[in-house]
Chains A and B, each alone.
Chain A
Amino acid sequence: MIDVQNLSKQYQIAKRDPGLAGAVKSLFSRKYETKQAVQDISFQIQKGEMVGYIGANGAGKSTTIKMLSGILTPSSGVVRVNGIVPYENRRRNASQIGAVFGQRTQLFWDIPIRESYHLLKHIYQVPETEFQQRLEMFTDVLDLGPLLGIPVRQMSLGQKMRAELAAAFLHNPAVVFLDEPTIGLDVAVKDRIRAFIREMNRQQETTVILTTHDMQDIEEICNRIIIIDGGKILYDGALQAIKERFGDKRTIHFDLEKNDGFTIPYALATRVEQVVSHREAAGKSNSISLSFNNAEITAAEVISEMMQAYTIRDLTIDEVHIEQIVKDIYERGL
């Protein structure tokens, strides 16, 4: 379905000296800096796959998505979506893809979404009966009924995102790009959105590419992840494998009553390691962070050993963040 080969993209960025003087200077002579946004990446995605495309901000995620959707032309390499080269045949590609791009709306700002959907029907040339069926189903699964008469302008974030999702799937696209579809939403709406995506994939075999920072999104939707960092692919494979390796890593932050020379309690020494953040390194803080692998030791054990050795004022347990996994892979390799 999606075939990406040796894809690269670099930008020219105008460099400017700081301050007003720099701004004036840049009017006359500009130095350019080349930024390599995506470097020689290749992957294939089969029909019906749901892939999490993850990485830190600025890793090259959206540049890749933009090249897949035809918004950007690559510097080198080849992209094919369902056999079509998106940046050469942008309009043909557009009719077979759908997208939800983060906070931006695909819908018409002032127009009630029912009208918006009708316009989209005409834009994508969806046959009337198909349109009616789909809208009915979406209204049901995403609970859009009460929203149809309201313009996006007046909607809450959760309502808007549900409306957006319906818009992205309205023309039954073969591939859908979802950029942070659950960001800032409450748990109930997140659940509904995830269920909808799974349902569309089951019914229509829609290929889904999902970029997110939410580990839960990935666990509930994707069976495969591609991790990108610095424009290069760090990992491409099953979610399970990466979770086994890194997903069990947790961190607990302790707030000690007083801190005069901390050492890890003997019972924990081999199974726990201290993570030193910048603030803690400065030695002014009483907080200590310990990281450990869930498979080797439980959080309860770590906490109880610590409580015996020190007076603990407070503690927080960190869940695994995708950023942490990326960082771990980056620092230690696979």
Chain B
Amino acid sequence: MRYLRLYGHFFTAQLKVMMEYRLDFLVGVFSVVLIQFTSVFFVKVVFDQIQSLNGWSFYEVLFIYGIASTGRSIHHIFFDNLWTIGWQYIRNGEFDRFLIRPVNPLFHVIANRVQQDGFGQLAIGLILLLTAISHLSIVWTVGKVLLLIVMILSSGAVFVAVNLFFATLSFWMVDSLPIVVGVFQVAEFARYPLTIFSKEIRGLLTWVIPYGFTAFYPASAFIEHSGYQSVALLTPVVAVVSCWIAYWFWGKGLRAYTSTGS
């Protein structure tokens, strides 16, 4: 509870700065929207040639995209600082500052940055979701709306967990950014129905780097013919477990740091 309030203070302080640099804000948001739009456009082009992708219609794929983008925006807006822990804080010793503050250092790192570009991601995600939903014949009940919200939050949590895990490597190596970026690229696969991939890639995206749970599985919960409706319900569990593992790993990294002070 204290941390929530504290986050609020961090957030408003940074919001004020953003408002001061309005142009930066708009350019940032616009560039993300542009990037996202290009990839959606690509899907559209593909679907102009084919009727369905392994049994998935255009709007169903758009729905998967929408969940991925919205989930990712949570990570993008609130947890963006995880990317650069290595070169921004650990390599130059700036990380020490977080250790002499009476708050959880991971919280502090995260709260230290609100990424404005993420709002563009959020906007695109919501537009995609709404567009897809208006073309899909899903019967929406209160329960289903709640489920969708839980699924999107879980998707965001999985993004955060995977990023945190690989960013934590910075405690042992000079900079883990290339690895973090590399792993993050894998998430692109997860925006398509996993059934189009080989068994190995599907397994990788489900059990090793669980990006499948950022989009495809959560979306499957709402698509009757997906055949993954029950696996889909595991999404929140996977989210919690991956966050737990990532945080445990972070704790190990932190101990390594305090014993070597690299």
Q: Name A residues whose Cβ lies closer than 8 Å to a Cβ of B.
A: 11-12, 63, 66, 69-73, 87, 90-92, 94-95, 97, 99, 101, 104, 106, 108, 110-111, 115-116, 118-119, 122-125, 151
Q: Is the interface of B mostly helix, strand, loop or mixed?
A: helix
Binary contact readout B96-126 vs A (1 if CB under 8 angstroms, 0 otherwise): 1101111110000000100000000000000
Residues A72 and B102 in contact, CB atoms below 8 Å apart: no
Residues A71 and B100 in contact, CB atoms below 8 Å apart: yes
Contact residues in B for A115 (Cβ distance below 8 Å): 13, 16
Q: Is B258 an interface residue (CB 8 A)?
A: yes
Closest approach, in angstroms, between the C-beta of A8 and any C-beta of chain B?
13
Closest residue of chain B to A94, judged by CB? B102
Q: Is the interface of A mostly helix, strand, loop or mixed?
A: mixed
Closest approach, in angstroms, between the C-beta of B14 and any C-beta of chain A?
7
Residues A119 and B9 in contact, CB atoms below 8 Å apart: yes
Q: Is B234 an interface residue (CB 8 A)?
A: no
9 A/B residue pairs, CB under 8 Å, sorted by A: A70-B99, A73-B259, A87-B258, A95-B102, A97-B100, A101-B96, A101-B97, A111-B13, A115-B16
Residues A72 and B259 in contact, CB atoms below 8 Å apart: yes
Given contacts A66-B96, A69-B100, contact A11 B260 (CB under 8 A): yes
Residues A123 and B258 in contact, CB atoms below 8 Å apart: no
Residues B6 and A104 in contact, CB atoms below 8 Å apart: no
Residues A110 and B17 in contact, CB atoms below 8 Å apart: yes
Contact residues in A for B104 (Cβ distance below 8 Å): 91
B103 touches which of A69, A91, A111, A116 (Cβ 8 Å): A91
Closest approach, in angstroms, between the C-beta of B25 and any C-beta of chain A?
13
In Å, the complex CA distance between A332 and B158 comes to: 63
Closest residue of chain A to B94, judged by CB? A104
Q: Is B10 an interface residue (CB 8 A)?
A: yes
B101 touches which of A94, A101, A116, A118 (Cβ 8 Å): A94
In Å, the complex CA distance between A276 and B204 comes to: 70
Residues A94 and B100 in contact, CB atoms below 8 Å apart: yes
